[in-house]
Every structure is written in structure tokens, then in C-alpha cells.
Amino acid sequence: MSAENKNVILQVTNLRKIYEDSDSTKAILDDVNLSLNENDFLCILGPSGCGKTTLLRCIAGFEKFEGTIEVNGVEVRKPNTDRILVFQDFNQLFPWKTVMQNVCYPLIKFGIKDKKEREEIALKYLGKVGLEQYKDFYPHQLSGGMKQRVAIAKALAVKPKLILMDEPFASLDAMTRRKLQKELLKLSKSENVTVIFITHNIQEAIVLGTRIMLMSRSGNFKLDMENTLPRPITPSSEGYAEMWDIFNNALNEESLS
Amino acid sequence: MKKCRVQIIFIVAVIALWEIVYRTGVFPELMFPSIGSIMKSLWTGFAEDELAGMVGYSLSLILRGLSIGILLAFVLSSLSIISKTFHKIYNLLVSVFDLVPGVALIPLAILWFGIGEGPIIFIVIHSIIWPMSRSIIDGFQSVPKIYIESGKNLGLSKFEMVKDIYLPASFSNVLSGMKIGWARAWRGLISAEMIFGTTSAGAGIGWFIFMKRTNVDIAGVFAALIVIILIGIIVEYGFFRVIEKNTIKKWGIRQ
Ligand SMILES: Nc1ncnc2c1ncn2[C@@H]1O[C@H](COP(=O)(O)OP(=O)(O)OP(=O)(O)O)[C@@H](O)[C@H]1O
Ligand SMILES: [Mg+2]
């Protein structure tokens, strides 16, 4: 391993994906290459159906694919706690477990044998998303935004190398969405995590991402930009409008083609 | 209590109507005993005919049969999640055997297990294992994909997947399977007892009914029916409702 490669956490090489059970033999992902550094916050934009979810599922180990995906130099074969998926669906928490139990459960698999220790960790992360006082609630007693917060706490608690978020805020109202974006931004810095975050929302991508990519219908990346705008980024930040335009135009082109 | 008001009024009305019909004397006493004589039979049943012991014996038989049946249903249904081949075979077995009434198996059961508790427990197991398996398998198959993937994301083993994801996620199916199975087993048990009579270890409530019929004590038969219904109600409210309240109701899982 060379020194300059040291903090590459994800290396995707010549990734190709064709769904065997679909009628078309078209490759959903066609020769995708991606190299992601530790602590990057990568936002991926792209037209609906271009294969964003498929890419995340390949990285998470849920799909078969051609090419190689390496996380910390280890080839991805199947799912594991070093890569945690956070879904858009509010129902990703187990309804039969309390908030606390939902966050604790993965820690057992993560190898923390002592129940007290697990609860301490869970409480710490629930605190980070502001939900300690809801620890004994069942998921059906929470709002959508709270459920997504718990899902984020649950993902962070196992200290994954990569958090893979598939439009986690897409079903939230605009206010809650902004609030959760802010929280996630803060957490991603304080927790030193590496995130791949899929969104349809250009604002969200610019506010959150340290790097923004745009996927095209042909199944690979069309734009790849470092986001160097001074933080915190708001729509009135200098350079925001230009960046927004670039991605908006590219997306429009995609949906026309 | 308030919630059951309609039901209570209905039951009281039925009892009153029964007594009125009895007093008009349209039906012979033998066919249509008075509420009073039914109650008296109930009393003497417990006081003199050891009805309590018989109920206890029936319950012990069904408890043994149900424990084995439920355990088998769980193990076999779980195996069918783990192996596709096993699933195909087991699914076929469940569909076929679910159609066979327990009572129809009694001749075979006697042949295989002899006279005694063996064939009765066999009938009870047969009554619960197939409907229970059907419910568990259906439940397992309708577990939302997102729970399965959340589980897989944690690298759970197949055994852990079944225990920690499939089972709780399909718990409302498991419960309704248990209810159907329990009802069938309870009916099957009483039929079997009426046919076998006593075993060396004791006599059950089915035997009580059989004896009362032989002695043309129709009030006694009705008394036994009341006991059977009461046990059904106790199991429903004292067992199933309590479990429901502490699981699927608490979890907000709809049925
Ligand atoms: N399990 C599957 N079997 C067959 N085809 C699939 C499967 N999953 C997705 N596809 C196809 O792959 C393509 C990409 O789907 P994917 O879900 O990755 O898109 P996406 O970019 O996430 O879209 P969206 O933004 O709408 O979520 C679509 O054309 C879809 O029909
Ligand atoms: Mg998607």
C-alpha cells in the first residue's frame, strides 16, 4: 500500500451491474469507477432510475456485480457492519424493539458482550441525535423525522467505515429536512465518518457534500466536483448559485435525453 | 366490562329465553333441560363426578400435545426458510395433511401407538402442526424486505435471522396460527376422548360427555359443553389477549 493511498477508504473499479431477472440486458451500472477518501461526504445526484440505489446496494454487498469494490483494501463480498445502509423508508427500525433496543442490537453483532456497555453506547448516540428521552418508546410512537434520527444513531453506533444513505430525508417536510441536514453535518464531522449520501435535492447535496457527483442515465458518473465553498453553506453563500446551476443544467440535460 | 356490555346482555337474554321455552313445555324435558338442572349437573359434576379432575386431565393432554406440535411447527417452518428444497417439500406436506381431519386418523393412531395417551397426543399434534406451520410460513414470506436487509446488513447468521427477524416480524401470523391450531386441537382432543374413553392414566372431559350420553343425562351433557366453552373463553382472554397486548399491540403491528 503506497503512502498516498493511505486514506482511500473505498475503491470501486470497473463496476458493472446487470439485473439477471430483468428482461433488458442493459447494464444499469456501466464501468463505474470511484475512489473515496476517509471522511469524505459524497453526495450523489442523478435522474430517477439511473442506478444510484443499485450502486449503494452493490457497495453494501446486497447485489452481485462485475468488477471490484474494496473497502479499506478488503474486497466486498457480502453485507457487514463496516458498511451500514440507511434507507429512505421510515420503517427501517424493528417495530418489536424499543428505540434503545434498536440501537443496542447491532452492537451485539459488533462484538460488545456487556449489556451495560451496549446501553451506554446507545444512549450516547441517542443523545447525539437528541432522543435520549425517547429511549423506551417503540418506533410506531415516533414521528418520521425521529425514526430517521434513530436510524442514524443506530448506524453511527457501530462505527462503520462507510455509511450509505439512500435519500434518508426525502420523505420529510422541508423544515424537518433542514434540521436533520444540519444535525447530520455536525455529526459527520464530530464522528469522523465517511458518508455516501444519495439525494434528488441539489440544495441538500451542496449543503452536505464535501464532494458531489452526478450520475447519468448511461450508468456512470458525468460530473465529479469537490465542494470547496466556505462552510456553513447556505443558498446565499458565494458560489452557491453557480454550483446549483451546473448541477441543475446537467440534470435537465439528463432528463431530456 | 363496559366493552362487553352488549355481549353480556345477549347472553343473559339467551338464558332467559331458554328458561321460557323450557317452561312452555314445547320440547320434552329429555331434549331440553331447564337452566336449573343444567346448573345442578354442573355442580354435581364437580362435586361428585370428578369433573375437575377430568378437565385437568384433558388440559394436561392438550398441553403436552400443543407443546410438541408448536415446537415442531417452529422448527420445520424455520428450516423451510433456510432451505428452498425443504420449503417446497414441507409446503406440500402442510397443504396435504391440513386437509385430513384428526378424527379420521384415529384408526391409524391406534394401530401405531396402541390404546392410551399416545394416539390422543398424536391427534392433538396433528391438529396444530399444519395450520400453525401454514401461518408461520405465510408470515415468514410476508416479512418486509427492509427488515430482512437490515438484518443481513448486520451480518446475521441464518439462525439469528429466523430468531431475531423473521419470528418477531411475523408474530401476528404466529399468534393467529396458534389460535386456529389451539381451537382445532381442543375439538380434536374431545372427539378423540369420546372415542377412546378412558386411558389407563385417566379420563378426560370427552369421556364425561360420553358417559352422560350413555346415561341419558342430557343436562350433564350441556354442563360439559358449558365447561368446554368456558375453557375456550379463558384461553382466549387469559392467554391470547394478554400475549397480543404485550406484543403486537405494543409494537403497533396491525393484524
Ligand atoms: N431488483 C431489480 N431487478 C431488476 N431491475 C431492477 C431491480 N432494481 C432496480 N432495477 C432497475 O435498475 C434501474 C436502476 O434502479 P435504481 O433503483 O438503482 O435507480 P435509482 O437511481 O435509485 O432511482 P431513484 O432515484 O428513483 O431511486 C431501474 O431501471 C430499475 O428498473
Ligand atoms: Mg433509489
C-alpha cell, A213: 457527483
Is residue B152, in this structure, part of any structural domain at all? Answer: yes
C-alpha cell, A179: 434540521
- Look at the alpha carbons of A137, A138, A144, A149 in this order and tell me if their dihedral is positive or negative: positive
Range of B180's domain? 57-246
Is residue A135, in this structure, part of any structural domain at all? Answer: yes
Determine whether the shortest distance from the Cβ of A105 to ligand 1 is under 6 A. no
- Nearest-by-CA chain B residue for A138: B251
- Tens-of-pLDDT digits for all 257 residues of chain A? 444 545 899 999 999 999 988 777 789 999 999 999 999 999 999 999 999 999 999 999 999 999 999 999 999 999 999 999 999 999 999 999 999 999 999 999 888 999 999 999 999 999 999 999 999 999 999 999 999 999 999 999 999 999 999 999 999 999 999 999 999 999 999 998 999 999 999 999 999 999 999 999 999 999 999 999 998 899 999 999 999 999 999 999 988 87
Domain tally, chain B: 1
Spell out the alpha helix ranges (H) of chain A.
52-60, 99-109, 115-128, 144-157, 174-190, 202-208, 240-256
Q: How near does any CA of chain A get to the CA of B75, in Å?
A: 21
Nearest to A257 by CA among A207, A209, A216: A216
- Nearest-by-CA chain B residue for A140: B252
> What pLDDT score was predicted for residue B194?
86
Across the interface, whether the CB atoms of A106 and B152 are under 8 A apart is answered no
State the Cα–Cα distance between residues B15 and B4, nearest whole angstrom: 17
CA-to-CA separations, B222 to B136, B186, B203, in angstroms, rounded: 36, 17, 18
Of B155, B156, B251, the CB nearest to A95: B251
Is residue B210, in this structure, part of any structural domain at all? Answer: yes
- Nearest-by-CA chain B residue for A160: B154
State the Cα–Cα distance between residues B213 and B224, nearest whole angstrom: 11
Is residue A128, in this structure, part of any structural domain at all? Answer: yes
State the Cα–Cα distance between residues A99 and A153, nearest whole angstrom: 10
Omega of the bond leading into A235 within 30 degrees of 0 (cis): no
Task: Tell me the whole-structure pTM to 2 decimals.
Answer: 0.89
Regions of chain B short of the pLDDT cut 70:
1, 200, 254-255
Across the interface, whether the CB atoms of B253 and A141 are under 8 A apart is answered no
CB A180 within 8 A of CB A148: yes
Range of A114's domain? 89-159
- Distance from CA of residue B78 to its chain's centroid? 22
Q: Residues within 5 Å of ion ligand 2 by Cβ?
A: A 53
Q: How near does any CA of chain B get to the CA of A84, in Å?
A: 7
Is residue B26, in this structure, part of any structural domain at all? Answer: no
Of B155, B164, B250, the CB nearest to A79: B155
- Nearest-by-CA chain B residue for A63: B149
Give the strand pairing for A211-215 and A221-226.
antiparallel
C-alpha cell, A60: 453494501
**A200 Cα nearest atom in ligand 1:** 25
Across the interface, whether the CB atoms of A91 and B154 are under 8 A apart is answered no
> What pLDDT score was predicted for residue A142?
97
Å from CA of A50 to ligand 1 middle: 7
Q: Is A80 on the interface with B (CB under 8 A)?
A: yes
> What pLDDT score was predicted for residue A2?
44
DSSP three-state, residue B128: helix
Is residue A228, in this structure, part of any structural domain at all? Answer: no
Of A62, A109, A140, the CB nearest to B156: A109
Q: How near does any CA of chain A get to the CA of B83, in Å?
A: 19
Q: Is A89 on the interface with B (CB under 8 A)?
A: yes
Is residue A152, in this structure, part of any structural domain at all? Answer: yes
> What pLDDT score was predicted for residue A6?
52
User: Domain of B75: which CATH number?
Assistant: 1.10.3720.10
Across the interface, whether the CB atoms of B168 and A96 are under 8 A apart is answered yes
> What pLDDT score was predicted for residue B224?
92
- Length of chain B counted residue by residue: 255
φ, ψ dihedrals at A17, nearest 5°: -140, 125
Domain tally, chain A: 1
DSSP three-state, residue A17: strand
DSSP three-state, residue A186: helix
Q: Is A143 on the interface with B (CB under 8 A)?
A: no
Determine whether the shortest distance from the Cβ of A49 to ligand 1 is under 6 A. yes
CB B189 within 8 A of CB B206: yes
Is residue B37, in this structure, part of any structural domain at all? Answer: no
State the Cα–Cα distance between residues B79 and A251, nearest whole angstrom: 48
Is residue B39, in this structure, part of any structural domain at all? Answer: no
CB A152 within 8 A of CB A187: yes
Quickly tell me which residue has 451506554 as its cell. Answer: A120
Across the interface, whether the CB atoms of A96 and B253 are under 8 A apart is answered yes
Q: Is A94 on the interface with B (CB under 8 A)?
A: yes
CB B148 within 8 A of CB B165: yes
Is residue B38, in this structure, part of any structural domain at all? Answer: no
> What pLDDT score was predicted for residue A3?
45
- Distance from CA of residue B119 to its chain's centroid? 17
Half-sphere exposure of A255 (CA within 13 A, CB side): 10
Determine whether the shortest distance from the Cβ of A53 to ligand 1 is under 6 A. yes
Determine whether the shortest distance from the Cβ of A21 to ligand 1 is under 6 A. yes
Is residue B188, in this structure, part of any structural domain at all? Answer: yes
